[in-house]
Each structure stands twice: as C-alpha cells, then as structure tokens.
Amino acid sequence: MNASDGSDEKLDRIVESLQGVNVTLESMRVSLSSLVQICDDQESRLRTVERWQQKLIPLFAILTFMVGAVFTEFLRRISF
C-alpha cells in the first residue's frame, strides 16, 4: 500500500460525503418547494375567506338589527 492509495481513499470518502450532502440538499429543496406551494395555497384560501367575510358582515348586521327589532316588538306586545 503506497501513499497514493491512502489519499485516493480519502478523496473517495470525501466525494461520497459530498454526494450524500448533495442528495440531502436536493431533498431539502424539494421539501421547501412543496412547503412554499402549500403556503401559497393556504394564503389563497385565506384571502377567499376574508372576501366572504367582508361580503357577509353587512348581511349579518342587517339580520341582527331585524331580529332585535322583531324581538323588541314581541316584548312590547306581550307587556301590554
């Protein structure tokens, strides 16, 4: 066994380690890309919910007022 065999083994181990790191980084890139897509989808859904909320707030205000008016009239008629 000569000195070049030992350095070749070290280089082979370094290359193998770098390949392993490369695989790990690629896996992390794919996972991060997937998370970004999920976040974008959730943000889109949240915006849809917020739009519906803005549309429904006036309707709920009107319904609340009407229920209060009907209940008040009901109580007034019962009292007299």
Q: How many Å apart are CA 11 and CA 5, to the nearest integer?
A: 10
The phi, psi pair for 2, rounded to 5°, reads: -110, 180
**pLDDT score recorded for residue 80:** 67
Average pLDDT of the chain, as a whole number: 92
Task: Tell me the whole-structure pTM to 2 decimals.
Answer: 0.55
* C-alpha distance from residue 53 to each of 3, 38, 57, 61 (Å): 74, 22, 6, 12
**pLDDT score recorded for residue 10:** 92
Q: How many Å apart are CA 80 and CA 70, to the nearest integer?
A: 16
**pLDDT score recorded for residue 17:** 95
**pLDDT score recorded for residue 30:** 96
- What stretches in the chain show pLDDT beneath 70? 1-4, 80
